[in-house]
Structure 1
Amino acid sequence: DWSKEFRSAGNLVFLPEKTQEFCAKVDFLFAWLKDCKIVKTLDVYGYASLLLKSLGSNRALVLDFAHFLHLSFSRGFISESKVKRLCAMMPLLNSYGGITVERKGVLVPADGSNWVELMGSNPWRHENFVELAEEYLHPGKYA
């Protein structure tokens, strides 16, 4: 339930699927909720765009957002072109414990890789290449 994951971001919630199905059967209900400005219908791209603006510096939300995009794309709820657009704008957790918004490129750590041991820290860091945090390698609660 993505509403639980993003409850502190932008006051946005997903209606559970059963609630959506019920509302679809009762024509006046959705119309009334929309008229009262209680409900707005969004596709995944619209929802993600609004979420993106409210992630702030919350590491958990930034990571949740990446998983949300991945799962939405892998299940066919959003197109590749829209995911690419969102990915270009989304903040990323970097390997130094911070959040990076602007970047030229992304370095993905390989499991078991020892390039950092060979080269020291990320030599491209000052050229706006971000090394992703290890948290992205672990699906955790989203698997």
Structure 2
Amino acid sequence: MAPVNNGVYAIAKPDEQLLTLQAAKEFVVVLTPTGEPGEQEWEVTGRDNGNVVIRNLRHDAYIGLDGPPEVDRQVRGTTEAFEWALYQAADRFSFHVVLPGGPVGGRELALDLSVLDIFPQRTALRPLEVQDQRQAWLFQFHE
């Protein structure tokens, strides 16, 4: 059972930066609200194994990877459903979005901001730091 209900969400950092997909196979970035319908809306669907898939409404693309999972691998839109594990963070609707299946190279990897200094800010796999609330994402349900 997934820790969130199936539905459509805005997925945000605490500073109003929203997870955004501007084109189907582009990098997943964070931006302030763009006003573009569906670009910052994500359908979260639970799987029987407790993981979720996260699909962008505008581009019908999933948050996924283009290549093997490794530290600093940039996250992008993919046509194939890609599973993520949600680990509850300190705040009620906040979660670490984690690559399922255990450690890669000895570390669990989570969806986080890329270390690259590029605008718009890209997302990438980073070592999971469960105590770091800045790495968590707020899931805001859309009715």
What TM-score do you get using the length of structure 1 for normalisation? 0.25
Between Structure 1 and Structure 2, the one with more helix by share is 1
Larger Rg: 1
Higher relative contact order (CA 8 A, sep 6+): 2
Between Structure 1 and Structure 2, the one with more strand by share is 2
